[in-house]
Amino acid sequence: MSDTIDYGNLMHDAMRSLIKRVLTDVQANGLPGSHHFFITFRTTHPDAELADWLSDRYPEEMTVVMQHWYDRLEVGEDGFGIRLNFGDAPEPLFVPYDSIKTFVDPSVEFGLRFEAAENDEDFDGEIDEERGENEPVQMPEPKPFVVEESDPDDEPSKPAEVVSLDSFRK
């Protein structure tokens, strides 16, 4: 039993569950309206599956776009499989949820970013022989973000004013 609540990993689990739920709905009903996704994932993840020529071209990470042409979307417990078109060459991929670095739906200015632990790049997925499982990686606090457009010429905001609600009553 730990003396603290691991909010970072709990939030990461919740964010991955959200992605799984969204993709499950897309699998059943297709992409609604103008929704589309930019998904960046680590190609070095031991469970990621992609063609050799793609892993050679994207040795660390790659961003895929799920919009007009995709098929064979299969959402599983640990990740999702999909076939995407790369320059008129359809290729199957398997993307583990814990390899995802960002998930963005620009049509509604929504995005999730998974911050990597400092030692995450060095984590080689070795099995802990004593425990029979992977060593846990301490994840930093997740930072959900929203894609926003801002005008750099905007004037700085004024300090907030306290307004009495009585002035709005009839």
> Is 2 a member of any domain?
no
CB 38 within 8 A of CB 65: yes
pLDDT digits (tens, 9 = 90+) for 41-51: 999 999 999 99
Query: Measured between alpha carbons, how far is 91 from 81 in angstroms, rounded to an integer?
Result: 11
> Is 130 a member of any domain?
yes
> Is 1 a member of any domain?
no
CB 67 within 8 A of CB 82: no
Pull the structure tokens for residue 69.
């042409």
CATH number of the domain bearing residue 152: 2.30.30.220
The pTM for the full model equals 0.67
In the block, tokens 């963005």 appear at 104
Residue range of the domain that includes 95:
7-168
> Is 100 a member of any domain?
yes
- Looking at the structure of the chain, the number of domains it has is 1
Query: Measured between alpha carbons, how far is 56 from 159 in angstroms, rounded to an integer?
Result: 52
pLDDT digits (tens, 9 = 90+) for 85-104: 888 889 999 999 999 999 99
Query: Measured between alpha carbons, how far is 167 from 88 in angstroms, rounded to an integer?
Result: 64
